[in-house]
A and B are shown apart, each in its own frame.
Chain A
Amino acid sequence: MRRTTKRRISRGVLYLIFIAAVVLIAISADWERLRANFLQTDIAREQLPDMITVAAKNTVLFTLIAFAGGLLLGVVLALMKLSTVLPYRWLAIGYIELFRGLPALLTIFGMAYVLPIAFNVNVPGGAVGAGLLALIMVAGAYMAEVIRAGIQGVPKGQTEAARSLGMGSGRTMFSIILPQAFRIVIPPLTNEFVLLIKDTSLLFIAGSTLATREITTFARDGVVNTANATPLLMAAMLYLLITVPLTRLVAVLERRMARSR
């Protein structure tokens, strides 16, 4: 048998397996029950306005706050980890290990309940404030490692050129190295952003009011109130509606940047 025919046949088999799997799933699923449980249009219509104006808005807002805070904290931690001052390095390493190692849920719980009891301090912003602070702390730990790798990915010659022009080490870092490092780490930072969108669903553990519910909490309440799972499917669609355009947009930006480089 010729090699091309062989290849064509093996590819055909792969297609067949794929089609068979799809058909099998489609006929074995109980569509009537699925529809009754997840696709009640009247419930969807009733839930949709608040789900967008309150829940989706909160999810986006919380994500933006946590990302901005995490980014700032991440830069500080990354610079500490690269510092020549040993205690700074230890502090950064300890912090990163701690908050990367703990589940975000526990950190949020700790900030919301343990901190007020242990130190008698309340984070401003109430439950949401405490939860967001916890998300910032966790995001900062993850982003610190990403940013550190980005900084180290900038060629050494860049530092040497800047220093040769008489720029100090701080100025070199902020004007020359960090802007280039951020370009390098756009893909992993996008990843971090998408993870954060989903991590906002953990904020419920800190407690939430009607006005501070994000998509998941809102949908869970919806399930209880309507005795139907339709809000969960809506929530899933909403998350995808946020994340997919975002990742596509970043991919386009990245391509454009690569072209101008």
Chain B
Amino acid sequence: MTTNGVPAIEVAELRKSFGPNEVLKGIDLTVAPGEVVCVIGPSGSGKSTLLRCVNRLEEPTSGKVLVEGIDILDPEVDVDRVRARIGMVFQQFNLFPHLTVLRNLTIAQQRVLGRSKDEAIDVARKNLERVGVGDKIDAYPAHLSGGQQQRVAIARSLSMNPDMMLFDEPTSALDPELVGDVLDVMRDLARSGMTMMVVTHEMGFAREVGDDLVFMDEGLIVESGRPREVLSNPQHKRTQAFLSKVL
């Protein structure tokens, strides 16, 4: 659990450029422990890049990223140890195709956390049950549906006992009828008190589960607040334009 008072994630004046193209133009954002923050916005708005800066999959150009008070951009910080405490779920699932579902869940537990094989299997089994794919433990990822793969990916992250979870458009690559299962798992996770930062196009999920909603456009946070208020009564013109297209 996180220390009281210290935000789980704190982003300040964050900028990120790819060559001459500035994708993030000064982002300030705080996620409190146990909070669920949803990030919405048109494609190219920088929301995925923001998420990927939080566990340093992208190297920020300038600014600060604090995870549980630790400056992860400090060269002295062991970024692998920080990452082990941040679960990440990708749009394309990114399960390891050459390993069984079980091995997908145990490999990092054993090699990063140093858990014994038995303990790792135990944890894996519980998390697979939790996301409703306990019967697929010996299958290879290619034999699972997209929805099952994404739930396995969530279970893989959970098996590291992370303090927080980052979701990068977790349902965007799924067939519509499979989206619900994944959202159910995420809803349960939020209810259990997990700190979550979710980049999503699922406005229903954001409204129902999110504590905070952030609307981004062109590398800036345009508007943020209670999801219900932002979604039903957007203040900014760009938010209104975006929402009128997606709702």
Binding site for B on A (CB under 8 A): 155, 157-158, 160-168, 171, 175-176, 179-180, 183, 260-261
A183 with B98, Cβ < 8 A, contacts A163-B57, A165-B160 known: yes
B111 touches A164 (CB 8 A): no
Please determine whether A166 and B97 come into contact, CB atoms closer than 8 angstroms. no
Q: 5 pairs across A/B with beta carbons < 8 Å?
A: A155-B94, A160-B94, A165-B112, A171-B111, A261-B142
Across the two chains, which residue of chain B brings its CB closest to A261?
Answer: B142
Q: Determine if B171 is an interface residue (Cβ-Cβ < 8 Å).
A: no
In whole angstroms, how far apart are the Cα atoms of A167 and B57 in the complex?
13
Measured CB to CB, the nearest residue on chain B to A171 is: B111
List the one stretch of B83-91, B127-135, B193-201 in contact with chain A: B83-91
A219 to B142, CA, bound (A): 50
B80 touches A167 (CB 8 A): yes
Total interface residues in chain B, CB < 8 Å: 28
Taking CB atoms and an 8 Å cut-off, the chain B residues in 119-166 that contact chain A are 140, 142, 153, 156-157, 160
Q: Which B residues from 96 to 129 make CB contacts under 8 A with A?
A: 96-98, 107-108, 111-113
User: Which residue on chain A has the smallest CB distance to residue B96?
Assistant: A176
- For A179, the chain B residues whose CB sits under 8 A away are 98
The reply to whether A166 and B90 form a contact with Cβ atoms under 8 Å apart is no
**Interface residues in chain B, defined as those with a beta carbon under 8 Å from any beta carbon in chain A:** 55, 57, 80-81, 83-88, 90, 92, 94-98, 107-108, 111-113, 140, 142, 153, 156-157, 160
B112 interface neighbour in A158, A161, A166, A176, Cβ under 8 Å? A166
Cβ of B94 to closest chain A Cβ, rounded Å: 4
Q: Which residues of the partner chain A approach B98 to less than 8 Å between Cβ atoms?
A: 179-180, 183
B108 and A167 form a contact (CB under 8 A):
yes
Decide: A166 and B96 in contact? CB cutoff 8 A: no
Contacts of B108 in A (CB 8 A): 162, 165-167
Decide if A164 touches B107 in the complex (CB within 8 Å): no
Known: A183-B98, A261-B97. A164 touches B83 (CB 8 A): yes
Are A165 and B156 in touch, CB under 8 angstroms?
A: yes
Q: Is the CB of B90 within 8 A of A180?
A: no
Expressed in whole angstroms, the minimum distance between the Cβ of B33 and any Cβ of chain A is: 20
Q: Is the CB of B96 within 8 A of A167?
A: no
State in angstroms the CA–CA spacing of A82 and B97 once bound together: 23
Given contact pairs A155-B92, A165-B157, a sample of 12 additional A-B residue pairs in the complex whose CB atoms are under 8 Å apart: A155-B94, A157-B92, A158-B96, A161-B95, A162-B96, A163-B80, A164-B57, A164-B87, A166-B85, A167-B80, A175-B107, A261-B142
Quick one: which of A166, A176, A180 has the most chain B CB within 10 A?
A: A166
Q: Give the one of A167, A179, A183 with max B CB within 10 A.
A: A167
Contacts of B96 in A (CB 8 A): 158, 161-162, 176, 180
Q: How far is the CA of A261 from the CA of B96 in the complex (A)?
A: 11
Instruction: Report the separation of the CA atoms of residues A261 and B98 in the bound assembly, to the nearest whole angstrom.
Output: 8
Residues of B within 8 A of A162 (CB): 96, 108
